Structure 1
């Protein structure tokens, strides 16, 4: 069960253009992915799934590639074929040059489904604007990227043999949540809290985000969810901790007065 934020009661001093731009970029990239527009209705066929697999393999961050700084000799090509076990996706030598460090950046804008995308963007929209407001636009963008890189490489170190591509903005957004909880711990957040049922409550940020972090840490152990293997919960934990540490420096800094 996950906590679902709906709205925070935390006024802004300036328009969070970077947060808006990140959300827009994530949506645009998702819509450009193979079969993205059809995944909501579950109408993808084998050819589209193979194209999507090849796309994610090329632009996603693969832990084993990050640690070895090299791409495997055989990768999904995006084509289909028939083998001993029936129809499937073809593999072959990569027809492109891939930079593993750069793949971390591109992976932050890829998502596996509408639910994955919308869930991440909900958290970014609610909590990113205030963190951007405190850090400033350029610092916030750098902060976001640093947390995303730390989460990806940190996960690779915890799972050095993993060959499944990492995709999604979750690691970077976890950093945003970590910064928010230390900068605005008493800010009130409306959310749906899983207590028997999802109950709408207004709670302090430290409680909601603290519950979120505890769940991620619990899931990272491999317990508590049957889908733990498909989600990089350890990346969420690493991003959150780094974001909280970096957020402490912003908390000590007095915000600039609002200008009109």
Structure 2
């Protein structure tokens, strides 16, 4: 009898689209290092989402009229420093893989962008007229977290975290009605919202060097929970073949 080699799980198993998003964020941050301090500041302000940009003085800000339309998207590419980028990269890797496996690359990018826009909109609603910039992909990444909630607990009920990691497409997706009434999701969401609101006391409002944009986190998270079902491309049947784990 020929002995078989022990099964070795890959250390990295990240979909290419997640790696591509992470690479884009890193490249933008590295590229900014080659700019002068003044040019970098102009670029950040032109790309940042600034609620006051949509007021009377908005056209005087860097980026001008064009930034009214581009900044809801470009703010996701900018980060305050390597620590800020590192945190977002870690959460992107933690939640992005399972989503990308279920949606495919194009749907993933569309969903990621929508959650980022939702985060920017929530920040605007809470800070209309504010001239302080908001940058970072945290709103979009919070949306990934919200999306994972829709199939995290079904995975735990039928195979645990290993199934979520190794075979995310086989996990049943909760309907929106189920998600909004599932006690575990409600508790997790309440804790997340509470932790973000608590940052008001310690960190202020903007997610750059001045603090944390908790409004964008909550907005992105809620968009993720409410809209993910429109993007999910995996089988939703509870009769999907169950993966076998050794």
TM-score interval, normalised by the smaller of the two chains? 0.5 to 0.7
Q: Trace 1:1-260 onto structure 2 (pairs within 5 A).
A: 16-34=15-33, 48=37, 50-65=38-53, 67-68=54-55, 71-73=58-60, 75=61, 94=62, 98-185=66-153, 186=156, 187-188=160-161, 214-220=191-197, 223=200, 225-229=201-205, 230-249=211-230, 254=235
> Aligned partners of 1:103 and 1:245: how far apart in 2?
24
Q: In structure 2, what is the equivalent of residue 199 of structure 1?
A: none
**Which is helix-richer, 1 or 2?**
2
* Number of positions where the alignment pairs a residue of Structure 1 with one of Structure 2: 198
Question: Which sections of structure 1, spanning at least 5 residues, go unmatched?
Answer: 1-10, 37-46, 76-93, 190-205
What is the rounded CA distance, in whole Å, between the counterparts of 1:30 and 1:251 in structure 2?
31
C-alpha separation between the residues in 2 aligned to 1:25 and 1:210?
34
Separation of aligned partners in 2, 1:183 and 1:149: 23
TM-score, scaled relative to structure 2: 0.68
Partner in structure 2 of residue 5 of structure 1: none
1:40-91 Cα deviation digits (max 9, x unpaired): xxxxxxx73x4433221111111122x4497343x4xxxxxxxxxxxxxxxx
Secondary structure in structure 2 of the residue aligned to 1:184: helix
The secondary structure found in structure 2 opposite 1:121 is helix
SS of alignment partner, residue 242 of structure 1: helix
Give 1:154 deviation, angstroms. 1.8
* In 2: Cα distance, 1:248 partner to 1:173 partner: 17
CA-based RMSD of the aligned residues comes to 3.5
Q: State how far apart, in whole Å, the 2-side matches of 1:29 and 1:208 are.
A: 35
